[in-house]
Amino acid sequence: MDQFIQSILLPGLSQGAIYGLIAVAFAVLHLTTGVINFGHGQLVVLAPIIILLSAAAGVPVWLAFLLGFAALLIAALVTEVVAIRPFVQSGSAVSWILSTFGVSIVLTEILAIPAGGEATYFPFGIPSDPFTLWGFRVSWAELSTLPALLLVAVLLTVFYRATRVGRELRAVGEDVQGAEALGISRARASQITVLISALIAAVTGFLVASSQILLPNLGIFFLFYGFVAVSMGGMNSILGAVIGGLVVGLVSQATAVYIGPLYGNLAVFTLLVLVYVVRPHGLFGARPVREV
């Protein structure tokens, strides 16, 4: 039992919280715009990499953090204007899939140029030195992901239910024409939503950089895992995204331990197939009514 907790439950939940954060960002963007940003994975690692590069260039750490955050916001806003806004609730998935995918490709390569495509270590994050707590080896970096996820999820849920802006964003997702006829701008909604997902990406990036090594192709990996998580939970559901993320984390960790570290992707892939076969609209999703 202790072994299970140490080697599967703790790391699974900790990593799963990261996937949950990605899934929550997907859910938030999708519920208003109907788009999944294929470049989100890159946005997550963007800030830490910029911070590292700036620090390496001699910039003081606090300024480096500012630069990283600014770069993230700029990248998010550019993505929104170029690859998301034209396709809000447009129903033509192929267009926005390819265009956000295109942006993700550009970001990956731009990041690869200075970073050289090698793994890098982030020294400015939450301490990852292990210590013992109740008989288990843990680190602050590991322990902080799940509370962060829960905090983000609660804040967002309150935002979408209790604030005016939140309700407007939900309205755009429900019926974009109806919302526009009431004075709610679809462009502004799409912008605000992308900024929210960028903030989530900032938090996610910080946690990721603290707890693991930054690899160049982390982006596509997060994209896939986060997507499986949000599909499992229901594309527009924040709660579903949280649950989905934790499940994905536990499954991939269990697979890595019991079968082998290179089989994680296969297990998560199988999970996605299962979701599509058993319940395509996810746990908390609604079956769409077709218009003829």
In whole angstroms, the minimum distance from the beta carbon of 22 to other proteins comes to 13
Closer to other proteins by CB, 59 or 112: give it.
112
Q: Which of 26, 13, 53 is nearest to 209 (CA)?
A: 53
Q: Which of 167, 161, 235, 169 is nearest to 196 (CA)?
A: 169
In whole angstroms, the minimum distance from the beta carbon of 122 to other proteins comes to 22
Q: Is the dihedral angle over the CA atoms 147, 149, 154, 155 positive or is it negative?
A: positive
Q: Is the CB of residue 205 less than 8 Å from the CB of residue 48?
A: yes
**How far are the Cα atoms of 46, 71, 275, 283 from residue 262, in angstroms, in the given order?**
25, 33, 22, 28
In whole angstroms, the minimum distance from the beta carbon of 25 to other proteins comes to 16
Closer to other proteins by CB, 23 or 126: give it.
23
Closer to other proteins by CB, 109 or 118: give it.
109
Helices (H) and strands (E) in the chain, counts: 12, 2
Helix 93-115 vs helix 61-79: crossing angle, to nearest 10: 150
Using CB under 8 A, list all residues that contact other proteins. 36, 82-83, 86-87, 90, 92-99, 101-110, 112-113, 164, 167-168, 170-171, 174-175, 177-187, 217, 220-221, 223-224, 227-228, 231, 260, 262-266, 268-269, 272-273, 276-277, 280, 286, 289-290, 292
Q: Is the CB of residue 32 less than 8 Å from the CB of residue 169?
A: yes
Closer to other proteins by CB, 1 or 262: give it.
262
Closer to other proteins by CB, 184 or 283: give it.
184
In whole angstroms, the minimum distance from the beta carbon of 91 to other proteins comes to 10
In whole angstroms, the minimum distance from the beta carbon of 247 to other proteins comes to 16
